[in-house]
Amino acid sequence: MNEPLSSWHKVVKTSDAKLLKSILDKEAIFYSPILFKPQKGRKKVMTYLLSAAKMFEGNDFHYVKELATASDAILEFNAKIDGIEVDGVDIISWNEDGKIVEFKVMLRPFQAIEKVGEKMKAQLENMSLWDKLKLKL
């Protein structure tokens, strides 16, 4: 397994924000299955990926198939959220420095897209409130 992909798997297992930051390029782009507009920049990408990790915690998230080259990977995953089976694909590209430059998520079926959208919205709102609280402290 190549180093960027190995580091990504560590992030998935540990939700390690410092490790995630270290493997994301400053100009990374995140393509959400829910949002039309791509999210650009390390901070935004970190917010979405850490929110997704938190959302999938305890929901039997696991990768079932992996195809990788020196600069790209396609990772198929499954999870179960509130009784709804989620099938998805993470498409990840990284540069010569081993930094993730693009992260795209695809989901199916439609009920899974709706459920993930609902859960992600709640998770992002919680993170936003936490950030505001930290700023006030």
Q: What is the pLDDT of residues 107-135, one digit of tens each?
A: 999 998 888 888 888 877 776 655 544 44
Query: Length of the chain, please?
Result: 137
The 10 Å CB-count burial string (b at 16+, else e) for 11-32 is bbeebbeeebeebbbeebbbbb
In this prediction the pTM is 0.86
**Which of the given ranges, 5-19, 76-90, 119-133, has the highest pLDDT on average?**
76-90
Q: Domain range holding 25?
A: 3-124
**Which two tokens mark 46?**
């970190």
What was the pLDDT predicted at 119? 85
Q: What is the pLDDT of residue 94?
A: 95
Q: What is the CATH number of the domain that holds 61?
A: 3.10.450.50
CA angle 47, 50, 52 (to 5 degrees): 105
Sign of the CA dihedral running 25, 106, 111, 63: negative
- The answer to whether residue 27 scores a pLDDT higher than 60 is yes
Name the least confident of 10-14, 60-64, 70-74: 10-14
| The total number of structural domains that make up the chain | 1
Residue at 133 is within a domain: no
